[in-house]
Amino acid sequence: MDGHIWSKLSWRLLAIFGTLAMALMGTPTTADAPVAQNTIIKPQLLMDVPIIDGDLVIGTLSVQSTVILAASQDEVRFDERRGTIRELQLLQLAEFARLRAHPERPVNAKRVAVAMEEALHLAGFRTARILVTSVRATED
């Protein structure tokens, strides 16, 4: 009976160490996407929008993000339209904060990125992506 327990334990340890070894070696996962050589990365300023519940401001949604552009020609257009893009993103974040954010609940960064990408798409950047580097909802 003891041999059976040790056999199970050894298989579990082997699985744990195998997983750890793959993680340390940087084995690619399905979530890893290749980055094109001409990818342009543009950090954005911190964006703060109020979290409104009814007619009360109950907090602030703060988002720090980076825009990932697919081609160098998009960089010039992006720089020219940066103000308009920021306005559209602030509007999207305000709507997101009104519908989905609360100071006492975690904020889904993936949904924040989708809302901000929608603003980029409205501005004509169909292939641009958003990487949310920081998101938090604080109580006022």
- What does each of the 140 residues of the chain score in pLDDT, given as a tens digit? 555 555 555 656 555 555 555 555 554 433 445 555 678 999 999 999 999 999 999 999 999 999 999 887 789 999 999 999 999 999 999 999 999 999 999 999 999 999 999 999 999 999 999 999 999 999 98
pTM of the full predicted structure?
0.71
State whether 22 and 53 are in the same domain: no
Are residue 47 and residue 24 in the same domain, yes or no?
no
Q: Which structural domain range is residue 2 located in? A: 1-32
Residue 43: both structure tokens together: 């950090």
Q: Same structural domain for residues 59 and 128?
A: yes
Q: Which positions ≥6 away from 50 have C-beta within 8 Å?
A: 57, 59, 60, 61, 94, 97, 140
